[in-house]
Chain A
Amino acid sequence: MQRRRGRAFAAVGLSLSLALVAAACGDDDGDQTSDTSGGGTEATNETGDQQRGGEIVLGAEQWPECVNPITQCANSSWTHWAIDAHVLPKLMELDPEGNYNPSPVLDGEPELSGEGTDNGSGPFTITYRLNPDAVWDDGTPITSEDVRFTWQAYMGTAGAVSLAGWDQIEDVDASDPQTAVVTFKQPYAAWGENWGGNANYLLKADAFDGRTDLSNEMISDLPFSGGPWVLESFSPTEAVLVPNEAYWHEDRVPLVDRVTLVPVTDTETQVNALLAGEVDAIYPQPSPGIVDQLDTEGIDYVFGAGVTFEGMWFNQGSLKNPNTPLKDPAVREALLYAVDREAILDQVMRPNFPDTEMLNCGGWVPTVGEWCDESDFEDVTYDPAKVASILEGAGWAKGSDGVYAKGGQRLSLTWQTVAGNRRREDIQALVIPAVRQLGIELVTDNSDADTLFQTRLPQMDTEVGLYAQTAAPDPTVSTIMACENIPTPENDFSGQNYLGWCNRQATDLMHRADATPDPDARLELVHQIGDLVREDAVWLPFYQLPLFTAWNSDKLEGPIGDTTNSSYGGFFNVYDWSLRS
């Protein structure tokens, strides 16, 4: 009996896999239309040409676990980008450039008054005049009682994310329904964040029967609306927005009948879903190769620059290495010149995101206000000679292995970033060998995101960190750079100053800036802080993280992508989107 185990099966098997390979490979030809317009002014709604009606499906990269705007869920951007920002009203809102403007709920700019405005101490009062046309979705007017209630709700809710700003309010006078007079104990520069700004809202007093502890409310529903949309339903797999019939602001009345949001959390799947037409638009994190995949007919995309920025953060107070060389200012200064930022941009960022600019200020971004003073880090370029002179001038000498040493300690640092994040690991791969040649040793010590952000950073278990920070539209940096916010065992590691940087002068400036509502005076203080950040070589900024909105241009039309830079996400102006006729 023949016993052939021929190569036939191998051939069949192999050709099967080759077929799969061949099918999956191959170019997509199609023309690319990419506008790289990053955030212009808010588009005017010229609805004359756009057709009304229809439905849009949006893909959300992260899914909110609940929609409560006060408690934990509010700390996730997508809670706002997907649901809350479309439904709940604000008093002051941010435009894509990061400026605070009165929202449709207000009738003109609020008035700041009181002694504190000028001299930095003493009472400080804001008077908001409410738009008489502003109504909730049931037709009842939005009044100052709602303003007052909201303050009490934020203060009274167990597990509220932050009381910054709220706990400085002395009182809200709601005697006149159309006017809310808010009195602060001290001048508070970030007043725009209350009832609005980045992550706060105005809530409806009548919706809660007088309860001010809202920790058990608004879990899967928002029982009212003051925005263009009403939340019809919310579940772990789908959310539906429908137009708010009572919305008074003509410019933002939605054109389509229904917007459905669905989670698509895997980046690759998100792209495939857009290409397959299962979702009509996405607002993804930039990931390697994503732009090339979307260079195809029927898909448009727009780049923007967000308020998140990334760089190498130096932990002077490292508990991982209590004798860290980072305590030596010369080491930090040398590191600034030892890392080739231009190469990083060229090799890692620009091939995918051509407009990525180097970031040259230490805690702000140039696309939001004037706070960023580019002259701070402009002079920092890759300069091996300078590295040598700085280090040797401070007593470091190269050892036999080519690494600098001083007093028996080698210039060896551990470098933490998010494991499995391709972009960051590529940066490490570029920098480590280059820096080694200059006599500095960096050793990777990566962790998964949860461990890094929940455990290691707060516990100061890092040395050199590569991760992103968010610049709130408000330029305050106290939470991440002031002395009192360094995590220590005493404060149960509650602070966020993971840099371990304590500069009394800078901290003092930060406190003063936080209490200076006058924009010009504040600007001066912020620039001084920026100078000190550079002087102490606290960290090395790399770039602003690009943002990205992509959509099905065969199906949709309108000013899509104009809010890419906005704090409220690339989908914020979906009220102006329509189906192509």
Chain B
Amino acid sequence: MADTPAIRAGADGGTFRAVPPDTAVPSELGAPGNQNLAPGPTTVLGSGGPASRKPLSPGRLAWRRFRRHKAAMVSAVVLILLSIFVMFPGLLTDWGPNEGTGVRLEGPSSDHWFGTDTISRDMLSRVLHGGQISLQVGLAVAIVAAVIGTVVGVVAGYYGGVLDNLLMRVTDLFLALPLLIALIIMGRLPQRQAWAETLIGPIGSVRSIVTILSLFFWMGMARIVRGVVLSLKEKEYVEAARALGASDLRIMARHLVPNCAGAIVVTVTLNVAAAIITESTLSFLGFGVQSATTPTWGNMLNGVEGYTRTAPHLVWFPGLAIIITVLCVNFLGDGLRDALDPKQRKEA
């Protein structure tokens, strides 16, 4: 149990079977060994499965299924709108995010739809600009984690043996280190050591937050991808490719990874959501992006708990921004999973 999503991200938030623990458990226990039940969605996007019965292409089919998930559709629309406004704040407001408006701590009004904050800055502008950072962080973390996790997972799953063991144990080490410790260590090292500063990024910068958070999200992806790869390794087309002389790299890149696409996509969306929340928690703990010149939803919430009842707009607008965005991303992920994994819906 943990109260920060990053900690659970190591075990994924959706495709339940995608926590394929170490599958080298000996068969005395009746364990499936390398043939564990296909974790993650058996992809419809890949080219490995049996020919589908319907004449529609797999992509079309997935889109159809996605469309049926109303919440996911609504969420997609909301997210698109949100992205537009976040990228072009000028559409909604003339104020800059750090500009003093002369009106302090005013609630929502016609001049300031989201009110103003403790030093007279326009909240709407700050929420929109803050969204740029928060969304960037979310996406960047999820993608970096996906890249690292996929590489580790494919390599571990494909090669097996000692390499697999080693990689899985490294994964375990990362899973075992508490978020707290790593945060603090990584949060402080760049200020003491120049190499840490180049590697991680200057303290309080977006880059450092992305680096630190990615280290907590790749493990789940690695496990999921490894699971899929394990189930696909023995399939005929892989054997065939090998027989034809394809290199390992080619097999991994051309055949295995694309078949994981479904699982990867779903996990990425869920990680985006988790990363946004974790960024806000980090700011609450005092480790986030520095706020003097860079608003993020997380650091806008920092230090304003005292106003929850007296100037609630300070808390609710960034708070709701987080909640709604994360909600929509989660729904989107749910819709994607439904679209890509038909087994989870009762078929007609």
Instruction: Name A's B-contacting residues (CB within 8 A).
Output: 1, 3, 5-7, 9-10, 17, 21, 24-28, 267-268, 271, 287-290, 292-293, 347-348, 351, 419-423, 425-426, 428-430, 432-433, 444-451, 455-456, 461
B312 proximity list for chain A (CB < 8 A): 24-25
What number of A-B contacts does a CB cutoff of 8 Å give? 132
A25 proximity list for chain B (CB < 8 A): 308-309, 312, 316
Chain A contact residues: over half helix, strand or loop, or mixed? helix
Do B303 and A422 have beta carbons less than 8 Å apart?
yes
Listed A/B pairs (14) with beta-carbon separation below 8 Å:
A1-B346, A27-B310, A288-B304, A289-B307, A347-B104, A419-B288, A420-B299, A420-B302, A425-B291, A426-B119, A444-B292, A447-B188, A447-B203, A451-B191
- Identify the stretch in B50-58, B69-77, B145-153, B210-218 within 8 Å (CB) of chain A at 4 or more residues: B69-77
A48 vs chain B, min Cβ distance (A): 39
1/0 per position for B207-225, CB-CB distance to A under 8 A?
Answer: 0000000000000000000
A485 vs chain B, min Cβ distance (A): 23
1/0 per position for B259-302, CB-CB distance to A under 8 A?
Answer: 00000000000000000000000010111101111000001001
Q: In the complex, A9→B327 CA distance in Å?
A: 13
Do A448 and B286 have beta carbons less than 8 Å apart?
yes
Q: In the complex, A27→B307 CA distance in Å?
A: 11
Do B316 and A21 have beta carbons less than 8 Å apart?
yes
Do B118 and A426 have beta carbons less than 8 Å apart?
yes
B71 proximity list for chain A (CB < 8 A): 5, 9-10
B167 at the interface (CB under 8 A from A): no
Q: In the complex, A352→B346 CA distance in Å?
A: 59
| A4 and chain B: residue at smallest CB distance | B70
Q: Pick from B105, B192, B292 the residue with the most CB of A within 10 Å.
A: B292
Do A27 and B309 have beta carbons less than 8 Å apart?
yes
B311 proximity list for chain A (CB < 8 A): 289, 292
Do B316 and A268 have beta carbons less than 8 Å apart?
no
B310 is contacted by which of A3, A7, A289 (Cβ under 8 Å)?
A289
Chain B contact residues: over half helix, strand or loop, or mixed? loop
Q: In the complex, A450→B192 CA distance in Å?
A: 13
Can you list the 8 inter-chain pairs with the closest CB atoms, starting with the nearest? A422-B303, A289-B306, A420-B286, A428-B292, A292-B310, A289-B307, A268-B305, A5-B70
Q: In the complex, A348→B311 CA distance in Å?
A: 15
Q: In the complex, A289→B323 CA distance in Å?
A: 23
| B202 and chain A: residue at smallest CB distance | A445
Do B323 and A17 have beta carbons less than 8 Å apart?
yes
Do A293 and B290 have beta carbons less than 8 Å apart?
no
Do A456 and B310 have beta carbons less than 8 Å apart?
no
Do B286 and A444 have beta carbons less than 8 Å apart?
no
Known A-B contacts A290-B306, A448-B188; the reply to A5 vs B286 at CB < 8 A is no
Q: In the complex, A540→B203 CA distance in Å?
A: 26
B308 is contacted by which of A24, A347, A448 (Cβ under 8 Å)?
A24
Known A-B contacts A10-B74, A419-B204; the reply to A455 vs B304 at CB < 8 A is no
| A292 and chain B: residue at smallest CB distance | B310
| A266 and chain B: residue at smallest CB distance | B305
Q: In the complex, A293→B306 CA distance in Å?
A: 7
| B289 and chain A: residue at smallest CB distance | A419
B347 vs chain A, min Cβ distance (A): 10
B242 proximity list for chain A (CB < 8 A): none
1/0 per position for B331-348, CB-CB distance to A under 8 A?
Answer: 000000000000000101
B169 at the interface (CB under 8 A from A): no
| B313 and chain A: residue at smallest CB distance | A25
B283 proximity list for chain A (CB < 8 A): 420
Known A-B contacts A5-B70, A451-B188; the reply to A347 vs B323 at CB < 8 A is no
A1 proximity list for chain B (CB < 8 A): 346, 348
A432 proximity list for chain B (CB < 8 A): 292-293
B98 at the interface (CB under 8 A from A): yes
Q: Pick from B187, B188, B311 the residue with the most CB of A within 10 Å.
A: B188
Q: In the complex, A280→B286 CA distance in Å?
A: 29
B64 at the interface (CB under 8 A from A): no
B306 vs chain A, min Cβ distance (A): 3
B68 at the interface (CB under 8 A from A): yes
B106 vs chain A, min Cβ distance (A): 12
Q: In the complex, A421→B348 CA distance in Å?
A: 57
Do B191 and A456 have beta carbons less than 8 Å apart?
yes
Q: In the complex, A10→B69 CA distance in Å?
A: 12
A449 proximity list for chain B (CB < 8 A): 286
Q: In the complex, A6→B308 CA distance in Å?
A: 33
Q: In the complex, A24→B204 CA distance in Å?
A: 32
Interface residues of B in 115-131 (CB under 8 A from A): 118-121
| B286 and chain A: residue at smallest CB distance | A420
Known A-B contacts A26-B309, A267-B306, A292-B307; the reply to A433 vs B98 at CB < 8 A is yes
Q: In the complex, A433→B99 CA distance in Å?
A: 9
Do B309 and A444 have beta carbons less than 8 Å apart?
no
Q: In the complex, A419→B303 CA distance in Å?
A: 11
A443 vs chain B, min Cβ distance (A): 9
Interface residues of B in 96-111 (CB under 8 A from A): 98, 100, 104-105
B309 vs chain A, min Cβ distance (A): 6
Known A-B contacts A17-B323, A21-B316, A444-B292; the reply to A419 vs B286 at CB < 8 A is yes
Q: In the complex, A426→B188 CA distance in Å?
A: 23
Known A-B contacts A288-B118, A432-B292; the reply to A293 vs B309 at CB < 8 A is yes
A125 vs chain B, min Cβ distance (A): 49
A446 proximity list for chain B (CB < 8 A): 203-204, 290, 292
Q: Pick from A26, A27, A447, A455 the residue with the most CB of B within 10 Å.
A: A447
A7 is contacted by which of B69, B70, B285, B292 (Cβ under 8 Å)?
B70
A450 proximity list for chain B (CB < 8 A): 188
Do B309 and A420 have beta carbons less than 8 Å apart?
no
B292 is contacted by which of A6, A21, A293, A425 (Cβ under 8 Å)?
A425
B293 is contacted by which of A287, A444, A455 (Cβ under 8 Å)?
A444
Known A-B contacts A7-B70, A429-B293; the reply to A24 vs B309 at CB < 8 A is yes
B294 vs chain A, min Cβ distance (A): 9
Do A419 and B290 have beta carbons less than 8 Å apart?
yes
A15 vs chain B, min Cβ distance (A): 14
B302 proximity list for chain A (CB < 8 A): 420, 422
B119 is contacted by which of A10, A17, A347 (Cβ under 8 Å)?
A347
Do A444 and B290 have beta carbons less than 8 Å apart?
yes
